[in-house]
Chain A
Amino acid sequence: MDKNRFNQAENLIKKAASVENKTEVIKEAQEGIINVELFDKTLKDLIEADDFIYSSLPFHKLNLEESKLFTSKILDARENINGILSDFGVIEKPKSEEKISDLSHELLIITTKNNFKKSLIKLGINVQQIVVAGVPLKAEDMKKINPKIPDTALNGISKKIEHVQNDIIRKMDKMNLKYVLVVAEPDLNGNILGKRAKENYNAFVNLEKDLKDIKVDRLIELILCATQPN
């Protein structure tokens, strides 16, 4: 991403993420279900933050870089705790879901994994705006992934590829989606998918690890990059 685009995205993120400074109202807990995954994640974020307690002995003073890392872990934990509290009606649902939904209304997201699709939905992306491409976007790309693939298998995959392509076009037409964002792991599959999506749909491509743990801020940043081209 060039510097202008980065600054533009940064400003938009700040704007998008700004929340009215209301006093939080804590309500009485309602019946609910504990999101165990979120609970575990909270503790693990705090455990990672705990490491700074050891490294900063004996006075626990952190430099700027360490402070950023430490507080990012605490913020992650806070976001998870807010999610758990909102599941019990103790606080209101985070505004971020609405924000993401608004910002992404003209966007189609192509990804390679179902678990990432789940994370996107959880963060507020409309399920109809996501395509999981378990195959590349062109049959010949399959040969790059697996040069030894037999022709019979390739025929079967070609049908799947056709189905994915149709799904992309259908969704873009039906929902009037103008932009495409590819989010995948930085492996061979992700690279090939990204390259082809850039060619076919002028997609904004983002390849990074641990996508299922993507944070609200990072997702907003990607949406803005994909929907605010120069």
Chain B
Amino acid sequence: MECQNYGLNRSIERENLNLNPLQRGGVLSAAAREALYDFGDGYSVCDYCAGRLDEISKPSIGGFLEDLAKFINVDAVRTVHGAREGKFAIMHALCDNGDTIVLDGNAHYTSHLAAERNHLKMIEVPSTGSPEFEITPEKYQETLENALDTHGEIKLALLTHVDGNYGNLTNAKKIGKICQDAGVPLLLNCAYSMGRLPIDAKDLNVDFVVGSGHKSMAASGPIGVLGMKEEWGDKLLQKSPRHQKKEIEMLGCTSRGAPIATLMASLPHLIDRVSKWDDEVDKARNFVSQMEEIEGVMQVGLRPTNHDLVRFETPFFHEIAQKHSRRGFFLYEELKKRKIVGIKRGQTEWFKCSAYGMTEEQVDYIAASFKEIAEKSGN
């Protein structure tokens, strides 16, 4: 059998500034690239395994998990295949078919799928709507209390720490306290925060945190992080009666090979970069302010932004697209000429982007390019 040409090559990240928020936090560190070379083979981390992935001593996965637990301040931590798998495992361990959970209105679609796969009903905390789309602690409290009144018991609440549409950073600490006082365990989805900004799960009053290695932790996918308070270990890390070393919710072993090796290699890099989070926020705000110098471009979501992911409404570019010979493709093509990618082809009415990890100079270049395109195409 002759295989098709799969087009398996990718130079986009090496040749262009990529503004796609999904890509920014997953760019590998140099140490992770080296680890990728050493640990690319299937079961590469399993040479010295005695039956438990999290206890392997060479490479020291056990040591890594201890460090990772300190990094996010949780009592126990496991790697999983992604934040979504972490959410699914938590829901599966805590809830029964037909139970109801509370989650925020900006939750990622995988939070919904994890609940649906567990046959759970969902009550959503609405956001404030346009233009800020904020999830307020007050609304969260009101929704949670109503849900408790109606259903008697809510086994889990979920909060998206930073959502993927507006980059809104929620007040997790306050909402964590609300849930704690109500006796409802809280799961904080940190897919867009863990590895970008400091996470202290205990300080945030949360019972569980999940993170995404490929989205925000400079690791090859698929890999996620699941951290928890000690009291949940019995449920979530329960062992199989038949295969006594294996944890049921983890289906024995989770992420192996390149994903975990790259995450391990990147941890020192992550420790360093989260300490510079304030600089990233300043950079994002500077970017927003430069972009808003173009009339008809405005940031939506909380202002000033507290995250690198920013969403712009861009009626200015949309108007141009109506008359331009390349229609909606003009913006993508003009940016591509300037070696900037990550805005979807044909998208001109709004877009979200991130300059996370870029230099000030690169950010200025991107903003100047948008202005240049606006000037050139607007005339």
A and B from one assembly? yes
Chain A residues with CB under 8 Å of chain B are 40, 43-44, 47-48, 50-51, 53-55, 57-59
Q: In the bound complex, do residue A47 and residue B339 qualify as a contact, i.e. CB atoms below 8 Å apart?
A: no
Chain A nearest CB: distance from B92 CB in Å? 38
Known: A54-B27, A55-B359. Is A47-B16 also a contact (CB below 8 A)?
no
B339 to chain A: closest residue by CB: A58
Q: Which residues of A contact B376 (CB under 8 A)?
A: none
Q: Which residues of A contact B27 (CB under 8 A)?
A: 54
Does B30 sit at the interface, judged by CB under 8 A?
A: yes
Chain B nearest CB: distance from A216 CB in Å? 23
- A210–B30 alpha-carbon span in the complex (Å): 18
Q: Which residues of B contact A54 (CB under 8 A)?
A: 13-14, 27
Q: In the bound complex, do residue A47 and residue B37 qualify as a contact, i.e. CB atoms below 8 Å apart?
A: yes
B11 to chain A: closest residue by CB: A53
Q: In the bound complex, do residue A43 and residue B37 qualify as a contact, i.e. CB atoms below 8 Å apart?
A: yes
| A-B contact list, 29 entries, CB within 8 Å | A40-B37, A43-B37, A44-B34, A47-B30, A47-B34, A47-B37, A48-B30, A50-B30, A50-B33, A51-B30, A51-B33, A53-B14, A54-B13, A54-B14, A54-B27, A55-B359, A57-B14, A57-B15, A57-B16, A57-B17, A57-B339, A57-B358, A57-B362, A58-B15, A58-B16, A58-B17, A58-B339, A58-B340, A58-B362
Q: In the bound complex, do residue B37 and residue A44 qualify as a contact, i.e. CB atoms below 8 Å apart?
A: yes
Interface size class of B (residues with CB under 8 A): 10 to 19
Residues of A contacting B: mostly: helix
Of A47, A51, A59, chain B has the most CB atoms within 10 Å of the CB of A47
Chain B residues with CB under 8 Å of chain A are 13-17, 27, 30, 33-34, 37-38, 338-340, 358-359, 362, 365
Chain A nearest CB: distance from B10 CB in Å? 13
Chain A nearest CB: distance from B18 CB in Å? 9
Chain A nearest CB: distance from B369 CB in Å? 10
Q: Which residues of B contact A55 (CB under 8 A)?
A: 359
Known: A47-B30, A50-B30. Is A59-B339 also a contact (CB below 8 A)?
yes
- A43–B34 alpha-carbon span in the complex (Å): 8
- A220–B29 alpha-carbon span in the complex (Å): 33
Chain B nearest CB: distance from A62 CB in Å? 13
A51 to chain B: closest residue by CB: B30
Of A40, A43, A58, A59, chain B has the most CB atoms within 10 Å of the CB of A58
- A5–B115 alpha-carbon span in the complex (Å): 71
Q: Which residues of B contact A51 (CB under 8 A)?
A: 30, 33
Q: Which residues of A contact B358 (CB under 8 A)?
A: 57
- A119–B361 alpha-carbon span in the complex (Å): 42
Q: In the bound complex, do residue B33 and residue A47 qualify as a contact, i.e. CB atoms below 8 Å apart?
A: yes
A53 to chain B: closest residue by CB: B14
Chain B nearest CB: distance from A210 CB in Å? 15
- A20–B2 alpha-carbon span in the complex (Å): 51
Chain B nearest CB: distance from A47 CB in Å? 5
Q: Which residues of B contact A50 (CB under 8 A)?
A: 30, 33
B30 to chain A: closest residue by CB: A51
- A154–B133 alpha-carbon span in the complex (Å): 72
Q: Which residues of A contact B30 (CB under 8 A)?
A: 47-48, 50-51
B36 to chain A: closest residue by CB: A47
Q: Which residues of A contact B13 (CB under 8 A)?
A: 54
- A59–B30 alpha-carbon span in the complex (Å): 20
Chain A nearest CB: distance from B195 CB in Å? 17
Given A44-B34, A47-B34, A58-B15, 4 additional A-B pairs, CB 8 A: A54-B27, A57-B362, A58-B16, A58-B339
A44 to chain B: closest residue by CB: B34
7 closest A-B pairs by CB? A58-B339, A51-B30, A47-B33, A53-B14, A58-B17, A44-B34, A57-B17
Chain A nearest CB: distance from B31 CB in Å? 9
Q: Which residues of B contact A58 (CB under 8 A)?
A: 15-17, 338-340, 362, 365
- A43–B340 alpha-carbon span in the complex (Å): 29
Q: Which residues of B contact A47 (CB under 8 A)?
A: 30, 33-34, 37
Chain B nearest CB: distance from A57 CB in Å? 5
Q: Which residues of B contact A44 (CB under 8 A)?
A: 34, 37
B27 to chain A: closest residue by CB: A54
- A51–B338 alpha-carbon span in the complex (Å): 21
- A54–B23 alpha-carbon span in the complex (Å): 13
- A59–B14 alpha-carbon span in the complex (Å): 10
Q: Which residues of A contact B339 (CB under 8 A)?
A: 57-59
- A53–B17 alpha-carbon span in the complex (Å): 11
- A199–B37 alpha-carbon span in the complex (Å): 46
Chain B nearest CB: distance from A46 CB in Å? 10
- A50–B17 alpha-carbon span in the complex (Å): 15
Q: Which residues of A contact B14 (CB under 8 A)?
A: 53-54, 57
